Amino acid sequence: MSQGAVPFREALRFWLKLGFISFGGPAGQIAIMHRELVEQRRWISERRFLHALNYCMLLPGPEAQQLATYIGWLMHRTWGGIAAGALFVLPSLLLLIALSWVYVAFGQIDWVAGIFYGIKPAVAAIVLQAVWRIGGRTLRRPSQAPVLWAVAIASFVAIAFLDVPFPWIVLAAGLIGAVGGRGWPDQFQAGGAHTSKGQVHGPSLIDDHTPTPEHARFHRSRLARVVLVGAILWLTPMALLVAWHGWDSTLAQMAWFFTKAALLTFGGAYAVLPYVYQGAVEHFQWLTGPQMIDGLALGETTPGPLIMVVAFVGFVGGWARQVLGPDALFLGGALAACVVTWFTFLPSFLFILAGGPLVESTHGQMRFTAPLTGVTAAVVGVIASLALFFLRHIAWPVPGGPVDWVALAIAAAAAIALLRFKVGVIPVILACAAAGLLLRLAGLA
């Protein structure tokens, strides 16, 4: 396919539309792209779509956003990838800045507090659903994959009870996968993709046998240019932040912390949230644990990748630390949200633009996929610890106080709706928010 087969303006309109309709987490977002790009528009074939998806699943970062970046890059070179990836994130960033402002400015109003009272148990149920979904895809039965089950359980114990830092858990799981892939290859087979293979949707503009365009072929000089530009795009704002208020300032520390977080998001946003919690809540104290749960709830109700919850973390932290002074709280929060978004997503663009031509050929080779499978097994345990954390805060909103049985009942109902009846995330959140509001108005919560 020639790069002009789909007009760039038409592609831009689609990527902007996708940014506003990309609800449902990575599975839902990928399903939307598959329906639009493979089945309806036929811009790319089923096999090429899955090939791109499998590459993105090997990378840290939000796989749906990276898939959009990859397809945009394949069709319209570097600017196509940048446009697709940026428009996937921009609507969510703007919405979260607005919602974060409402939260910090008016969150103590009774009816707003009631809505969040109902949403928090829904978030705990959503995290439990993530454990079920990722665990079912990765672990299989204990008799079939005992090593992976051992990794998952060990990871749960390490982060929930031993306070082992998340990066060490990822490193250990990857090493176990690398060794286990040689000793027990049948246990470390990579999981399936989000869509079913073998479907035929007619000829596509980028078809199965369409030659790889010149800009997608590997050249060392092109790789060097991308890496150099990426380094400049990271170093320049970091240097400005450090020069402005010093290395220990809130914005500089946010930039450094979320750069590290971006490199650890194997397995999606739920996998890195415990690391974000350890840093943002426990170490830097940019926000509180309950605020973190509220931020995740807002992230679930907006389009875009769930890792966009970092924008909420940045806004609340920037507001609380008054990074632009007490007279510019909103601007300080918005600036912090933009800073953490920039440093969180910059690596995702670099992975696609720099590594696309290089890493594609490694898909399906056990020495590359086995470490990822080990990490994904650890992710199951890590997310389970996150669910335990949320349930603990919901059950005992006041440490040492009475159990909140009403909140636990809402969480149980939300879990049944999600797992048993397959109700969508958005309807569950809306129903729980309505229940919380009614309970608060009735004086029962």
The answer to whether residue 143 is domain-embedded is yes
In the chain, what's the furthest Cα-to-Cα distance? Answer: 67
The boundaries of the domain holding residue 171 are 92-192+228-441
CB proximity list for 206: less than 8 A, separation 6 or greater? 1, 43, 44, 45, 48, 74, 75
Partners of 44 in the beta sheet? 206
- Predicted pLDDT of residue 414: 94
Is residue 165, in this structure, part of any structural domain at all? Answer: yes
User: 280 in a domain, yes or no?
Assistant: yes
In a domain, 41, yes or no: no
Would you say the pTM of this structure is higher than 0.85?
no
DSSP code of residue 303: S
In a domain, 24, yes or no: no
Domains: count for the chain: 1
The pLDDT value given to residue 27:
62
- C-alpha to C-alpha distance for 53 and 63, rounded to whole angstroms: 8
pLDDT along the chain (445 residues), means of 10: 71 91 68 83 82 73 89 92 95 93 84 84 84 75 81 92 82 89 75 46 70 78 93 98 96 96 73 84 92 84 84 97 96 97 95 79 61 80 82 84 93 94 86 92 83
> Is 266 a member of any domain?
yes
| pLDDT score, position 197 | 44
Query: Is residue 353 included in any domain, yes or no?
Result: yes
Instruction: Give Cα separations from 91 to 10, 68, 246, 282 (angstroms).
Output: 18, 15, 31, 30
Question: How many C-beta atoms lie closer than 10 Å to residue 28's C-beta?
Answer: 18
